[in-house]
Amino acid sequence: MNEARAAARYAKAILDFAIEQKKTDILEKDMRAITETIGTSKELREMLASPVLKGEMKKKALLSVFKGTDVITEGLIDLLLQNKRIGLLNEVAIKYIILNENLKGQGVAFVTTAVPLSGELEKRVLKEVSKLTGNKVVLKNKVDKSIVGGFILRVGDLQYDASISNKLNSIKREFTKSI
């Protein structure tokens, strides 16, 4: 099973359980904290991906980093560790947020840019994404200087990469093919 499908299944199961426990908003807050923390911490991403570190060490580190989260979130971390899928934690959190927003009649659009979006540009992007999806959309801007310029727009499972780094990589691939 590919990573995205596996993450979606875990997220759906956690959402169903959160609905049953009436904790969807609490878990959404936890999942947003997870995506923000993992997104901004290179060390945490490396720790999650490390095949050398034992699961118990990863569990202690994650429970320490995400202290104060709900028991369902702690259970998710434990489940992912048991199934040797802890590398999916960030993706599961993102999928959970998307599913929960869809449940509330909202969509989440993730926009990655090299510099923060201005208020006016954010409104324009929000308007266009709302037209495309037909839903009320919440925009989350992530700044990543490595994309050099342009943007990467992600809505649900769809991604549009109009970044300069992507275009440069494309040119590089074309150039190396022609040699």
Q: Which two tokens stand for residue 86?
A: 């802890």
Kindly list the structural domains of the chain, giving each domain's residue range(s) and its CATH number in brackets, ordered by start. 3-100 (1.10.520.20), 106-178 (no CATH)
For residue 8, pLDDT over 70 is answered with: yes
Do the beta carbons of residue 27 and residue 96 sit within 8 Å?
A: yes
The pLDDT score that the predictor gives to residue 136 is 77
pLDDT tens digits, one per residue of 59-105: 888 988 988 889 999 999 999 989 988 888 999 999 998 888 878 77
The pLDDT score that the predictor gives to residue 29 is 93
Which residue, chain included where needed, has tokens 């759906």? 12
Q: Which two tokens stand for residue 87?
A: 């590398």
Query: Cα-flanking dihedrals φ and ψ of residue 116, to 5°?
Result: -60, 145
Do the beta carbons of residue 30 and residue 70 sit within 8 Å?
A: yes
Q: Is 65 exposed, middle or buried (0-12, 13-18, 19+ CB in 10 A)?
A: middle
Do the beta carbons of residue 33 and residue 62 sit within 8 Å?
A: no
The pLDDT score that the predictor gives to residue 27 is 92
Which residue, chain included where needed, has tokens 């040797």? 84
The pLDDT score that the predictor gives to residue 102 is 78
Give the ranges where 22-88 is alpha helix by DSSP (H).
24-40, 42-49, 55-65, 71-82
Which residue, chain included where needed, has tokens 């929000």? 126
* 44: DSSP letter: H
